[in-house]
Structure 1
Amino acid sequence: MTTITRLRPGLIATVTVLSALATACSKSAQTEVPLRAVRTLVLSETGGVVAREFAADIRARSESRMGFRVSGKVLKRSVDLGQRVRPGQVLAQLDPQDLSLNQEAGRAGLAAAEANAAQAEADLKRFGELRAQGFVSDAVLERYATSAKAAQASLRQARAQAGVQSNQASYATLTATASGVVTAVDAEPGQVVSAGVPVVTVALDGPRDAVFSVPEDMGPALRAQLGRTGGIQVRLWGRDEWTLATVREVAASTDTLTRTFLVKADVGPGGGELGQTAIARLNTSIHADGGLRIPLQALTERGGRSAVWVLDARSMTVQAQPVTTGAISGNVVLVTQGLKPGQEIVTAGTHVLTPGQKVKRYEGPVKLSAQAGENK
């Protein structure tokens, strides 16, 4: 038998009111817009800067492309890619058979020249004695004196030739001149190579450079940083801290294909592993002829037009400001119309903003190395 419990009308009304209140509260909580934290940048005629970043890689200050000083067939290669080498270590060796034969020929030629010189000296001495006794004429003595001089000249030539051939025999062994790491191997055993052709490339131990390319418009800015300690900052891949670097070299002309300048910045002997990826950052002025430079990530799209979120510092709300853009260089875009100095724009967090939304400025942790670079 089933028992049916009937609720009193007053209790039903109370439950209905509580349910309506709970629904209203949940809707109110869902409609609340969170207070977003955004990064901002104040546009200024002077003193304003924007960071421009470029992909770089760590290279050795000096790389030696080592090859044999004579031609020949590679007999063996004693090192592999990535192997560390020390001064005097054998890197590769040529087949020494032909070089040894040349060395023997040089020695034989030297012996023959020594014998001829000795015979010419003896003849000159003998005919000198005969001339003193009046048995030969002056013409005969002069002829033997000339022969002795020629024999001495041939002897000097033979000695020099023997020395060259002896040196060439020693050139069959390629040795390291300094400590470093093998970064390239260009020859294998059995290959015939010409004199001077690179066989092994060794990155020498010592200072390291961050090497990167910049667009044409950045050439003057980088040249202004030449020799200045901390002119740029470098961050190695996988690390958070920025380290100060010194611009050491800027190419005199652009690359014919990429139209970019090659830049080398000194990061010191402990500036990372060879070939490691890095980011090079340079702070440049916001103001430019014909507009203002802003980070590319500050741009957004509103109604089919490019726009920038402008922050009102009094109300801490944002509004979309349509802008006209110009040339884009790396991660920086030139705004020709729509912005003016003194405005504060949002550079990070633009994709979650709505017109009139209240925001707050993001205050993240500041690395000591980065702070030192910004204050410098």
Structure 2
Amino acid sequence: MSCIVLPLAGCQKEAPKTEDIRPVRAIVLQSSDVDVDSEFSGEVRARVESKLGFRVGGKIVARSVDVGAVVKKGQVLMQLDPQDLKLSQAQALAALRAAETARDFARAELKRYQDLKGQNFVSQTVLDSKDSAYKAAQANVEAAQAAYRGQSNQAGYASLVADIDGVVTAVNAEVGQVVAAGTPVVQVAKSGDKEIVIGVPEDQVDRMKSISDVRVRLWANPQLSVPGKVREVSPAADPATRTYTVKVTVPETLPAKLGMTAVVQFVSKTPQPLIKVPMTALFYEKSATSVWVVENGAVKLTPVTSGGVAGNDLILASGVKPGQTVVTAGVNVLKPGQKVKILGDEVASAKPPAQSTIAAPAVGAAK
């Protein structure tokens, strides 16, 4: 049997070796002098948002709006039971009428005593007392008039009206509830100007103030980028988040609805163009940092020098140049001279940071 097997084994042909081609992802390096220093997620809010409350206390008997209702200036939002206020107004009116009657009697008395003094029937002292009584009665009338006007205003405060054109964003009281004067019952956001509210960590607040190029994108439409302007920086950190509230105004061209999520980018120009690569492109070996550069379908290991970190990317100070193709995924399975196949029909280009698509919220959240 062994004599037969050996000749057969010698007749077998070896299978042809296939070239090992590794699939990888890569980008074409580009340089840019625009750097996204930081980006923060925030919330779209109205620049003016009023918490409205009755100027008098009482029981709510009517509510005319719901959350989301568009209101006009002067429109009635809620009403209190006006009965007690009308009674107080009637009481003030009665007091005014009594004061006017007393004033008219004092005036007539003064006129009679002036005639008697002209005939020397009364002394000057008596005339002066009548004059003082008239002036006191006149002062009582003026006080009663002021009290009546005040009570009339109080009666008018039974109706809560909108003082701006806007939209109702919150309703904090219902019919039948008794509220005190000044208690917020309706919240109205003014139509027009909007802003993005973000929270900035304490170690970046001062740097944000010096950056004038601010860009805003909506999660609902990340392709649209509009310029923004820092309007207000809180002087104190929020006690819960320990971040500083920053308000960024945006133009009316931004199709943003209240409550939408937006990303605010603070962009500045660097002294010289920068080359950035994702962290996944780095290959570490013997305390050296390198990248795999694709040339003629094969890779070679190229040492690079780091120039700092920008978000999730690494700034390369030396070792590579714009136009080179660098592997970004699969770096740990490659070896020098390895043949590679770049996944995708075309090599993805590294976009400048300011044009990158928003994919996830960055550090810092609006309160």
User: Shorter-chain-normalised TM-score: which range?
Assistant: 0.7 to 0.9
For 2:21, the equivalent position in structure 1 comes to 32
CA distance in 2, matches of 1:306, 1:110: 94
Write out aligned runs for 1:222-233 (5 A).
Answer: 222-225=208-211, 228=212, 231-233=213-215
Cα 1:236–1:39 shift into 2, 3 Å: farther
- Contact 2:56–2:157 (Cα < 8 Å) also in 1: yes
- Contact 2:282–2:291 (Cα < 8 Å) also in 1: no
For 2:194, the equivalent position in structure 1 comes to 208
Q: Confirm whether residue 266 of structure 1 aligns to residue 249 of structure 2.
A: yes
Write out aligned runs for 1:190-205 (5 A).
Answer: 190-205=176-191
The alpha-carbon deviation at position 256 of structure 1 amounts to 2.4
For 2:226, the equivalent position in structure 1 comes to 243
For 2:96, the equivalent position in structure 1 comes to 110
Cα 1:308–1:254 shift into 2, 3 Å: farther
CA distance in 2, matches of 1:260, 1:179: 32
SS of the residue 1:189 aligns to:
coil
Amino acid at match of 1:34: P
Match of 2:331 among 343, 353, 372: 353
Q: Confirm whether residue 52 of structure 1 aligns to residue 11 of structure 2.
A: no
Amino acid at match of 2:248: A
Amino acid at match of 2:22: V
Cα 1:113–1:203 shift into 2, 3 Å: same
Cα 1:52–1:256 shift into 2, 3 Å: same
For 1:298, the equivalent position in structure 2 comes to 279
For 2:3, the equivalent position in structure 1 comes to none
Cα 1:101–1:126 shift into 2, 3 Å: same
CA distance in 1, matches of 2:198, 2:98: 61
Cα deviation, 1:47-70, whole Å, max 9, x if unaligned, reads 573452211111111011111111
Instruction: Give the number of equivalent residue pairs.
Output: 328
**TM-score of the pair, normalised by structure 1:** 0.74
SS of the residue 1:214 aligns to:
strand
The alpha-carbon deviation at position 33 of structure 1 amounts to 2.0
**TM-score of the pair, normalised by structure 2:** 0.75
- Contact 1:300–1:306 (Cα < 8 Å) also in 2: no
In structure 2, runs of 5+ residues without a counterpart are 1-11, 357-367
For 2:240, the equivalent position in structure 1 comes to 257
In structure 1, runs of 5+ residues without a counterpart are 1-15, 372-376
SS of the residue 1:273 aligns to:
coil
SS of the residue 2:244 aligns to:
strand
Cα deviation, 1:129-180, whole Å, max 9, x if unaligned, reads 1111111111111111100010000000000000000000000001112211
CA distance in 1, matches of 2:114, 2:225: 86
The alpha-carbon deviation at position 106 of structure 1 amounts to 0.9
CA distance in 2, matches of 1:183, 1:305: 59
Cα 1:152–1:311 shift into 2, 3 Å: farther
Q: Confirm whether residue 168 of structure 1 aligns to residue 154 of structure 2.
A: yes
SS of the residue 1:217 aligns to:
coil
CA distance in 1, matches of 2:204, 2:171: 35
SS of the residue 2:189 aligns to:
strand
Amino acid at match of 2:259: G
CA distance in 1, matches of 2:88, 2:286: 79
CA distance in 1, matches of 2:109, 2:59: 47
Amino acid at match of 2:261: T
Write out aligned runs for 1:33-112 (5 A).
Answer: 33-34=22-23, 36-38=25-27, 49-112=35-98
- Contact 1:300–1:308 (Cα < 8 Å) also in 2: no
Cα 1:140–1:253 shift into 2, 3 Å: same
- Contact 2:34–2:352 (Cα < 8 Å) also in 1: no
The alpha-carbon deviation at position 20 of structure 1 amounts to 4.8
SS of the residue 1:54 aligns to:
strand
- Contact 1:302–1:320 (Cα < 8 Å) also in 2: no
Greater share of helix? 1
For 1:177, the equivalent position in structure 2 comes to 163
